[in-house]
Amino acid sequence: MANPRKGGGKGLSDGGDGGLDNGIQYGGGGRAVTVTKYSPFWSEKFHFLSAVKLDSDATCINVLPLRDFEGHSKYVAVGDERGRVYVFMRNGDVAVELRTVSDSPITSMLSYMSVYKNETLLVTGHKNGAILMHRIWERSNGEDLNSVFMEHVVEFVAEDESPISILEVHYVGRIRYILSSNVRGKIKVFREDGTVYGSVMPMSRPIVFLKQRLLFLTESGAGSLDLRSMKLRESECEGLNHSLARNYVFDAVERSKAYGFTSDGDLIHVLLLGDILNFKCRVRSKRKFELDEPLIFQAIKGYLLVISNEKVHIYNVSSQHYVRVGAPRHLFSAGLDEIRSSFLNYQNMDSESGGKFIPLISSDHEKLVVLGLGGGYVGLYRSNLPIFKGEFNTVLWTSPVLFFILFLFGAWHFFAKKKEALTSWGPDDPFTATSPTTGAPLGTGSSERASFIDAPSRSTDMMDLRGGGGGLRGPPRRYGSPTGYPGGATSSFRPATTSDHNSRPAAVDPNYRAASELKFRGSPLEPPGFPKRREPLFANNQVVNQVVDESS
């Protein structure tokens, strides 16, 4: 490929910023064609932080979970083809270098926080099947800067020499398990001390694990693993149409979403829902993807990054347009030569371009992006891409969570109406259960409930019932006054020989209680503050008695 900066041909002009004139000029019988175009998109959307040059080719990159007071990732770990691990900071300073006990190239890396402060554990998988655990911690040196240290901890039990392709950690309470998968597809579960907990062999090779749910996507579908019984479940992915997936990555925000590339050359958007007992995989969208393998996928908030041997492609997965269309929307692409030109001149680029290039990309799933640019170069960039927040009209109305919320609302509404209907049939009036023919006293039946009603409402009801001749009870002179007050007869009922038209029969109701038993309006049943409020009640009774006597 011709170097655009050299520009030896007639008719080519350097734009001053490393670019070429976009036109085709003819002169002197010759013809000049544009070789490449300068694109400012990458430099505008991704801010260059630093770059590191290794002595050998980088084979794996991992962003460590240690963060500063602003919440930004502090360190990046890089493994090379000689089995060494480099840890460097965002500004490009190499913090520590460790030669592992294995000289085999590092093919996968996993990092997670330790139980101790300012300490993380780094697990490396190698091409010869070895799995090693290392401890990385930082210690204050008395100044604002911290010193980083790294040491080998344990070597996991290796049963075969197949390269390790996936490493993942799973938490069960305070216990942590390390899951690994090799290129053959065999899944092994290790304890932190390096011993083997169990192993299974799925029908289809796993590609990526879903964190903390023991679900994973395979070449032909999805699967789950039960750690208690080491039982494996697998199912096909609906809509994959018997094609094989080459690569997957889960969305940085919604973990149930994944993006992948198939053997038919399609860029797919997949949903993985459920748990280890009941899960479902479905392809939501599919689009032709004209790129050559190998391809590496990485996700940050709102965007999907795909790197090939020549370019980095950026896709939007967060805008409203994406929600309506149902597939990632391509934004722009940037050549790796253009990205390297931000910190290398063309002479150095020519000298480094002859080596074998392995596409590498990693991120902290937010803003930090780390690229392997070939020739031992690793570049760090901070994303300036805007993140679009989904509006209300972007809610997926087929979401199971929405149906569950609607079900709860309907159940609450139903039981509230049912309770209201039941309470409307209950007897609100305490005297409705008393029959005028039986002449039951005030203290029987539902009147026992009414004794808990406050005194003002109770006296008002008695005045209404005792007034006139059409009340439920006879004249009040039939009932004795409570003890402690003068006046009134002490007998609780009138004999059958009386001439009163409201006299009771000779047989006494077995449910009837005497006044001494009822202690109706007695002082022991009420607080001492109530006697002053009883005087108007008996005064009203006297007035009622006078009216009755005059009418007779």
Residues of the chain short of pLDDT 50, as ranges, are 1-30, 33, 35, 321-325, 391-395, 429, 431-459, 461-472, 485, 487-493, 496-500, 503, 520, 522, 540-552
CA torsion sign, 492 to 496 to 502 to 507?
A: positive
Name the phi and psi angles at 333, rounded to 5.
-130, 150
Q: Is 458 left (phi over 0), alpha (psi -120 to 50) or beta?
A: alpha
| Residue 288 bridge partners (DSSP) | 266
Tell me the CA distances in angstroms from 528 to 207, 221, 358, 515, 532, one per residue in order. 81, 79, 93, 21, 9
Alpha carbons 87 and 146: distance in angstroms, whole number? 13
Residue 307 in contact with residue 294, Cβ under 8 Å? no
What is the Cβ-side half-sphere exposure of residue 266, based on CA atoms within 13 angstroms?
18
* pTM given for the model: 0.63
Q: What pLDDT is attached to residue 455? A: 47
Cα–Cα dist 125/167, whole Å: 7
The whole-number pLDDT of residue 248 equals 94
Q: How far apart are the first and last CA of the chain?
A: 128
Quick one: which H or E segment has residue 293? Answer: none
In three-state form (DSSP H/G/I as H, E/B as E, the rest C), the secondary structure along 438-464 is CCCCCCCCCHHHHCCCCHHHHHHHHHH
Quote the CA–CA distance of 280 and 49 in Å, as a whole number. 41
E strands in 290-449: 296-300, 303-307, 311-316, 329-335, 360-363, 368-374, 377-383
User: What pLDDT does residue 528 have?
Assistant: 54
Q: Which two tokens stand for residue 287?
A: 């689009």
Question: Which residues are paired to 279 by β-bridges?
Answer: 274
Is residue 308 exposed (0-12), middle (13-18) or buried (19+ Cβ within 10 Å)?
Answer: middle
pLDDT of residue 441: 46
